[in-house]
């Protein structure tokens, strides 16, 4: 299942959401070389978050390949900056596009709920918590973590509390059969969280490349908690579908889209 849009009206122009998307795309083009090596491998090595390097749980000077002809040497320089820089890196085209698509769908309405200035701090803080969660569950890992999905998980955690009954339109691929339908945001995002949680449990302690599931879980939970402090009551009073008190019953959300 993949979300294609929601039925949530936009109150203000989401300038920060647009800016974050532009920054991620800019980094992909001009820092990561459009996803081509050696720029991609070098950026992941030097700017990606490596839990074992930050916590110094792996020997200084450990080498491992990050791409054709590229070796990453751990511990040569301070790596704390990677907690921030890793949020704006991606490992491939699909990784970038899917993350930016989720941010496009859910970011604007969360920005509506708190205003642009607070949204900047909210987004970055969710990303930091996501990184910390991944480090906590994989302290010995020497695999670089990159991607905006932890911070975007925080956006989705906020969305599920702000607009739980909003329709989220999904596309489903069943082999050659493709269909679309709409479900309440609480079901779609709740299902997403459960997938990340069980996947994180299944992969804990596995030292191999893949998805940083615990970062997704940590970011989501951070967003659900922090929205209680970052939301603006006056801004939300302007929104017709804030909270559980929509005019439409949730059972009407279960409908196939023609």
For the segment 212-244, what is each residue's pLDDT rounded down to a tens digit? 899 999 999 999 999 999 999 999 998 889 988
CATH of the domain at 209: 1.20.1540.10
> Furthest-apart CA pair in the chain: how many Å?
61
What's the CA gap between 191 and 258, in Å, rounded? 24
**pTM (two decimals):** 0.90
pLDDT over 50 at 141, yes or no = yes
Number of structural domains (the chain) is 1
Q: With the CA atoms of 101, 103, 105 and 108 taken in that order, what torsion angle do they form, in degrees rounded to the nearest 10?
A: -150
| Closest among 45, 57, 119 to 82, alpha carbons compared | 45
What pLDDT does residue 255 have?
43
What's the burial of 3, exposed, middle or buried (CB within 10 Å: 0-12/13-18/19+)?
A: buried
What pLDDT does residue 249 have?
41
- Domain that residue 126 falls in: 2-256
Structure-block tokens of residue 128: 């930091």
DSSP 197: H
Residues 6+ apart with CB under 8 A from 237: none
pLDDT over 50 at 251, yes or no = no
Q: What is the pLDDT of residues 1-21, one digit of tens each?
A: 789 999 999 999 999 999 999
Average pLDDT over residues 187-202: 94
């Amino acid at each position: 299942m993949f979300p294609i849009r929601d039925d949530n009206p936009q109150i203000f122009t989401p300038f920060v959401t647009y800016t974050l998307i532009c920054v991620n795309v800019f980094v992909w083009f001009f820092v990561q070389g459009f996803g081509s090596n050696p720029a991609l491998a070098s950026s992941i090595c030097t700017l990606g978050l490596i839990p074992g390097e930050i916590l110094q749980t792996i020997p200084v000077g450990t080498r491992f390949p990050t791409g054709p002809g590229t070796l990453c040497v751990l511990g040569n320089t301070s790596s704390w900056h990677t907690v921030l820089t890793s949020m704006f890196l991606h490992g491939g085209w699909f990784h970038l596009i899917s993350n930016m698509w989720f941010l496009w769908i859910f970011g604007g309405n969360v920005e509506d709920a708190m205003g642009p200035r607070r949204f900047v701090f909210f987004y970055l803080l969710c990303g930091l918590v996501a990184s910390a969660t991944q480090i906590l569950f994989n302290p010995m890992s020497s695999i670089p973590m990159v991607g905006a999905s932890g911070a975007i998980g925080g956006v989705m955690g906020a969305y599920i509390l702000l607009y739980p009954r909003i329709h989220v339109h999904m596309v489903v691929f069943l082999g050659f059969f493709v269909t679309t339908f709409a479900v309440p945001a609480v079901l779609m995002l709740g299902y997403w969280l459960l997938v990340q949680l069980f996947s994180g449990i299944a992969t804990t302690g596995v030292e191999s490349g893949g998805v940083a599931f615990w970062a997704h879980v940590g970011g989501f939970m951070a967003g659900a908690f922090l929205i209680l402090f970052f939301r603006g009551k006056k801004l939300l009073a302007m929104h017709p579908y804030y909270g559980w008190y929509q005019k439409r019953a949730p059972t009407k959300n279960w409908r196939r889209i023609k």
